[in-house]
Structure 1
Amino acid sequence: MIPTLLVLNAGSSSLKFALYEAGSLRSLCRGGVSGIGGDARVTVAGPEARVIEAAPAKPHADHEAAVGWLIAALSRAPRLSLRAAGHRVVHGGPDFAAPIRLDGAVLAALDRLTPLAPAHQPHNLGAIRAVARAWPGLPQIACFDTAFHRTQDRLAQILPIPHALTEEGILRYGFHGLSYEHVAASLPRIDAERADGRVIVAHLGHGASLCALKDRRSVATTMGFTALDGLMMGTRSGAVDPGLVLHLIRERGLAPDAVADLLNARSGLLGVSGISDDVRVLQASDDPRAEEALALFAYRAVREAGSLMAALGGLDALVFTAGIGENAPAIRAAICDGLAWAGIALDGARNAAGKGRISRDGSGVAVHVVPADEEGPIARATDRLVAGSGPVPGPGCFSTG
């Protein structure tokens, strides 16, 4: 029997999962379900991939169906002995600044944070509850996207609003922390000379943000109180004038929920182009609106990177990660061209290959591509917090050993 850790990362329209051997953290299997709610697609790889590949029907309806499908597949795995599950939870609020073992009180507190991350938190917590129903008594660990940014100075976290609201926890929290944690841990290996210097990490995917690192700790980031702030994204607007929100409500007669839908689900690349939120679709289009949407995406990243350079006092390295960051050379080139004044000189061939260092030799700022891995930090935290846990007792486990 293989003592196994299950990692679940439930996004707004996807479910990523991974299995690790407890203790050694050897990767057993990793994959995902994308396109939830529509044409769901399953990908899986690893030595235990047959566990998922043998599953009957593919999920398609919603996150609950996707998680249920995965649990059903794992319940048929005879070689695996489940020890714990770790989860990405987008919002930890002011009280959760480190991974924590879940219980009823913690889950209730995380429920209360749902209005701050409505597109993610319900799916994160839904996965936790589904696992608890399938395997009662299984240790479960929550790892927070906001926790990585709690190292920031107070001035980087507070907003220019009445003090009483700040004290109630209305702060700049920042997100994508698990992705940034992985990059920070990888920096000594990929660029030992600059690892502890002034680094900007660009997590560019359907959700997108930038994070400024010094000594591999978060100094500033583009997302704020919610994951709607900062960069232009797939369907999210990113930062807009707060007066626009008031205008839409007062002058256009939109209800608050309609404004939320407009800014979260109908803006960004989709809204500007009127075509798609998928960079690949936009790059293949000859519609000028597609070109404008991509140009605006890069322009906003350049502007926000400039503000983070000010917070850092300069720049030693730039790292691209996540779906767009890893797979869109033209987007990387547009951003780096906009930052050429800072000393970035991109190597065209390396950028096209999209692996490792993509800047020219001698470039004043090193530029790297690092594959995203939010599941790895979750697995490490889960293994640490449940070290020594035995197999889950009772029926429904992969195996009771």
Structure 2
Amino acid sequence: MNSLGLPRAPGDTRVVVAMSGGVDSSVVAAMLKKEGYDVIGITLQLYDHGDAIHRKGACCAGQDIHDARRVAEAINIPHYVLDYEDRFRQEVIDRFAESYLSGETPIPCVECNRSIKFRDLLKTAKELGADILATGHYIVDRALPNGKRGLFRAADPHRDQSYFLYATTPEQLEILRFPLGELKTKEETRAMARELGLSVAEKADSQDICFVPEGKYSDIIERLKPGAVAPGDVVHIDGRVLGQHEGIIHYTVGQRRGLKLATGEPLYVIKLDAEKGQVIVGPREALATKTIRINDINWLGDELPGPEGMEVAVRVRSTREPRPAILRFTENGAEAELLQSEDGVSPGQACVIYDSEDPRARLLGGGTILRNEPVITKIAV
């Protein structure tokens, strides 16, 4: 077996590397080339920051493409740039805007991995005769006793990206590889980049959502959906109208800052009602949720939960650790019953499922969080 788990010599194994222009994917391409694999680099043109902020010459995507091309030239591999802007707009950006307008808090990185990188790019890799598609994500893939492949949390808990990769299918896992998952710190990656002589060794990590310059996602939504952002009432869970808002897209469940309410009590966003155009607020305890309803399930486990449910750990935000829960499948998806209530469970976010709370736990899949009723249910009607 070679280092990618295939029964052949590296030189007889063609690997397409998704090269973003950053240090992680550049290291993957360079280390695989050094090991003797037949490496091809592909960079996706997904968006144009210059267009996004109405200011030409501000195309960060163009700089990333330039950096990826320089790395490919330095390590002497073929490099292709594919124009995926139209499909990225349809599959990711438009869905992102529609989700926010419906009162959800979406995760575009999950949809990008699901519909662009691990569907469309995977298809292109196969057309190029690739045996493997490798990326710079921090997650561990390994062979399971049953002969299939599984995903596990990365060695570095601060870099672990399993939350964003729950939608990877078993079929995709057969040819996907993530060589950086066992690295314990980002500094190890940068040290490898310096050792390999890569020009991007000190390049800063990307921040925020790639197509949202300066983190102002509301500006993008208002430009994509002109006239769709409407003002409405800010309503307390006891029914009192406390004020006005300028559009529910400016709020997310669990938010406290920026409410601009002079009530003398700390209030949090409990729910966003897109149909009524209301931002519903209440005390912190009203954020508590114990039952999370999930749809669009992607399952990577060996067996489905039985009628009595399965003991798992679930993660409701990328910045939180998995919490113990009982998972049950339903006719319309699944329910996760938390052993302890969780605050700020937001519709549109992912509920990601692991086999335990262990830092190196196996990823069992996940789905999209539906609207959940909090423990305090006195919501304005």
Q: Same fold (TM over 0.5)?
A: no
**Which is strand-richer, 1 or 2?**
2
* TM-score, scaled relative to structure 2: 0.30
Whichever structure has more helix as a proportion of its residues is 1
Calculate the TM-score normalised by the size of structure 1.
Answer: 0.29
